[in-house]
Amino acid sequence: GNSVTQMEGPVTLSEEAFLTINCTYTATGYPSLFWYVQYPGEGLQLLLKATKADDKGSNKGFEATYRKETTSFHLEKGSVQVSDSAVYFCALSVLGYKLSFGAGTTVTVRA
């Protein structure tokens, strides 16, 4: 089946620190990969996506590269801000519309 494993949180770091959230996947077929972000009290928002191997998704200073050889899609940001405090979800889709989500990683950035 399809599944996503992401690093457990919570993650707490200082402003301007480097952030990495690891994500690995298993999939039957050739998945598209996503990172969603959930701010407190809100629904999920698409942060970035990649649809084929070696693609790099990027948005708001966040990046993730689709690595087929390691079945990974790690999220990175070089300098975080307090406003980046949220829950981050890695997800995959094989059939194009049925998303499988990871458990989510809570990130807290301190001023």
Partner 1 sequence: DAGVIQSPRHEVTEMGQEVTLRCKPISGHDYLFWYRQTMMRGLELLIYFNNNVPIDDSGMPEDRFSAKMPNASFSTLKIQPSEPRDSAVYFCASSRGGHQPQHFGDGTRLSIL
State the nearest-atom distance from the C-beta of 34 to partner 1, in Å: 7
State the nearest-atom distance from the C-beta of 98 to partner 1, in Å: 6
Q: Which phi and psi angles does 17 have, rounded to 5°?
A: -75, 165
Distances (CA, A) of 111 to 13, 14, 16, 36, 88: 9, 6, 9, 23, 19
Q: Which is nearer to partner 1, 98 or 111 (CB)?
A: 98
Q: Which is nearer to partner 1, 70 or 97 (CB)?
A: 97
Q: Which is nearer to partner 1, 29 or 96 (CB)?
A: 96
Residues lying near partner 1 in the complex (CB under 8 A): 32, 34, 41-46, 49, 89, 93, 95-99, 101-104
State the nearest-atom distance from the C-beta of 36 to partner 1, in Å: 8
CA-CA-CA-CA torsion for 85, 67, 32, 41, nearest 10 degrees? -10
Q: Which is nearer to partner 1, 53 or 95 (CB)?
A: 95
Closest to 3 (Cα-Cα) out of 80, 67, 99, 95: 99
Residue type present at position 54: D
